[in-house]
Chains A and B, each alone.
Chain A
Amino acid sequence: MRRCIFLLTVLTVININTYAQLYFTKNGNVNFFSKTILEDIKADNNQVLSVLNIQTGTLRFSLLNNAFHFAKAKMEDDFNENYMESNKYPKSTFNGAINDINNIDFNKDGTYKVNVTGDLMIHGVTKNITIPATISVKNGKISGSSVFNVAAKDYQIKIPTIVTNKIAENIKVTVLCDYEKK
Chain B
Amino acid sequence: MTGKIKKYILLVIIVFALAGLVIVYKTWNKPHQNIENAVAIKITAAALYNGFANNNAKTQPNFINKVIAVEGEVREVLRNEQHQQVILLKTSIAGGSVNCTMEKNANNIKPGSIVLIKGICSGFINGDSAMNLPGDVFLIRCYPSE
Contacts and interface: CB of A to CB of B under 8 A. Distances in A.
Interface of A: 19, 22, 24, 26-29, 44, 46-47, 49, 51, 60, 62-64, 66-67, 69, 72-74, 76, 90-91, 176-178, 182
A29 B79 CA distance: 12
Contact of A19 (B82, B97, B125, B131): B131
Main secondary structure, interface of A, reads strand
Nearest to B133: A24
Nearest to B78: A27
Max chain B CB contacts within 10 Å: which of A60, A67, A69, A177?
A67
Contacts of A76: 32
B141 A49 contact: no
13 contacts: A26-B125, A29-B81, A46-B84, A47-B101, A47-B136, A47-B138, A51-B128, A62-B126, A63-B125, A69-B140, A73-B30, A90-B64, A182-B133
B80 A49 contact: no
B3 interface: no
Interface of B: 27-33, 64-65, 78, 80-82, 84, 86, 97, 99, 101, 122-123, 125-128, 131-133, 135-136, 138, 140-141
Contact of B80 (A19, A27, A63): A27
B27 A74 contact: yes
Nearest to A46: B80
B141 A69 contact: yes
B97 to A, nearest CB: 8
A17 B52 CA distance: 31
Contacts of B64: 66, 90
